Amino acid sequence: EPEVTQTPSHQVTQMGQEVILRCVPISNHLYFYWYRQILGQKVEFLVSFYNNEISEKSEIFDDQFSVERPDGSNFTLKIRSTKLEDSAMYFCASRPGLARGEQYFGPGTRLTVT
């Protein structure tokens, strides 16, 4: 069964550095998402992406964040200048084009900012 994959599984970076988190959604899916979960807190929506553009974003998704689908298969989340509070588990998800299609989640990338 096809799955969403994410790399790396764990990323450690220093404050102020740029990081790129990578996701490969399921191949025929049309909607893509990033969520994050700070340790001990709920899973929070960051951004949705459809038809090669951001369709919706949360207040968390400020100018430090960007998303890209550079080659039709990968879906990346970039954090330009990481802060300590960006430390979290980041989940990618994708869903098919059906109006009520299910979201399929990746295993997550644990980002640690020191």
Partner 1 sequence: AQRVTQPEKLLSVFKGAPVELKCNYSYSGSPELFWYVQYSRQRLQLLLRHISRESIKGFTADLNKGETSFHLKKPFAQEEDSAMYYCALRNAGGTSYGKLTFGQGTILTVHP
Residues within the interface to partner 1 (CB under 8 A): 3-4, 31, 33, 35, 41-45, 48, 50, 55-56, 58, 91, 95, 100-103, 105-108
The H or E element spanning position 34 is: strand 31-37
Contact present, 75 and 32 (Cβ < 8 Å): yes
Least distance from partner 1 to the Cβ atom of residue 93, Å: 8
In the bound state with partner 1, the residue whose beta carbon lies nearer, of 2 and 101, is: 101
Contact 38, 112 (CB under 8 A): no
Identify whether the C-beta of residue 69 lies closer than 8 Å to the C-beta of residue 11.
no
Least distance to partner 1, CB of residue 73, Å: 19
* CB 109, min distance to partner 1, A: 12
Place of tokens 């689908």: 69
Q: How far is the CB of 30 from partner 1 (least distance, A)?
A: 10
**Tokens 């992406």 belong to which residue?**
49
The smaller minimum CB distance to partner 1, of residues 35 and 82, is found at 35
